[in-house]
Amino acid sequence: MRWARIALYCLLMPVCLYVEDVNLAAASDLNFALKEVIPQFERDTGHKVRVSFGSSGNFYAQIVNGAPFDVFLSADLDYPNQLEKAGRAVPGSTFPYGRGAIALWVRKASAVRVEALGMKTLLDPSVKKIAIANPEHAPYGRAAVAAMQKAHVYDAVKNKLVLGENISQAAQFVQSGAADMGIIAMSIAVSEPMRQSGSYWTIPRDMYPPLEQGAVLLKHGGPGAKAFCEWLKGTAARKIFEKYGFQL
């Protein structure tokens, strides 16, 4: 009887032929979205994901220099495409997972009302420091500069800019009071902590180049990494990305 019960358990038990850890490098604008994506993926597949957040440009440099990541989620498509060309990624594995957006964000204590004046609030005399991601290696920083140039305010405020290493750090600067205002990722602005502590104004998408964000399976990746890339293309992941402001 005991062996019969064991045999029945084995028949009913979910089959997972190979489970592994996935080392994921992710653009920091995905911080909140991936906190929902990863647990669902792990429950569905049994694979485990270890994620590192940072700027896309820095991750690109690390991967080129041999960093052992399995999957790279970039804030643009250019870096994954370059990794394919450099032979660091599986050929043909790059795919877009969403189009990002940027927003002006201020703390609730601020007297500046971004909802009323939009980009012109950057010119308010009370605004002494403006946080953005470093445009040298962060696509969201480049988008912020483009939007300010489009609004004809960049020359007037460029000396007020405080550069974060990535878009999450830029958001931390303004949330903590180290900056008076910030141009941050919509995916961060709509998160629960940021909505509780401040308000935002969505910068029109025609004011900056499209933030087409892309994923790529790196040469170091195994079955778990491949499964993660495939899972990101599914309905569950796409719903979460849409929740955080990514156009699909």
Higher pLDDT, 8 or 187: 187
| pLDDT value for 5 | 44
Predicted structure pTM score? 0.86
CA distance 207 to 144: 9
Question: What number is the average pLDDT over the span 169-180?
Answer: 96
With beta carbons less than 8 A apart as the criterion, state whether 122 and 181 touch: yes
Residue whose pair of structure tokens reads 């790059």 in the numeric block: 94
| pLDDT value for 2 | 46
| pLDDT value for 123 | 95
pLDDT at 10 over 70: no
Question: What number is the average pLDDT over the span 94-112?
Answer: 94
CA distance 42 to 27: 20
Q: What is the mean pLDDT of the chain?
A: 91
pLDDT at 18 over 60: yes
pLDDT tens digits for range 23-46: 999 999 999 999 999 999 999 999
How is residue 117 written in tokens?
Answer: 């004046």
pLDDT tens digits for range 106-157: 999 888 888 888 999 999 999 999 999 999 989 999 999 999 999 999 999 9
* CA-based torsion, 144, 62, 86, 215: positive or negative: negative
| pLDDT value for 115 | 82
Q: How far are the Cα atoms of 93, 132, 142, 202, 212 from residue 208, in angstroms, in the given order?
A: 27, 14, 9, 12, 12
Residue whose pair of structure tokens reads 């909505």 in the numeric block: 195
Question: What number is the average pLDDT over the span 235-241?
Answer: 96
**DSSP E strand stretches across 34-119:** 48-54, 71-73, 95-100, 102-107
Query: How many residues make up the chain in this entry?
Result: 248
Domains of the chain: 18-99+211-243 (3.40.190.10), 102-202 (3.40.190.10)
| pLDDT value for 129 | 97
pLDDT at 6 over 50: no
Give the confidence band of 248 by pLDDT, cuts at 50, 70, 90.
confident
pLDDT tens digits for range 200-220: 999 999 999 999 999 999 998
Kindly compute the dihedral angle of the four CA atoms of residues 97, 103, 109, 112, in this order, to the nearest 10 degrees: 180
Question: What number is the average pLDDT over the span 172-195?
Answer: 96
pLDDT at 11 over 80: no
Beta-carbon contacts of 11 under 8 Å, excluding residues fewer than 6 positions away, are none
Question: What number is the average pLDDT over the span 88-107?
Answer: 96
Spacing of C-alpha 159 from chain mean position: 27
pLDDT at 12 over 50: no
Say if strands 21-27 and 71-73 run parallel, antiparallel, or are unpaired.
parallel
Beta pairing partners, 53: 26
Beta-carbon contacts of 174 under 8 Å, excluding residues fewer than 6 positions away, are 105, 106, 107, 131, 180, 181, 182, 184, 198
Closest by CA to 54, choosing from 173, 141, 138, is 138
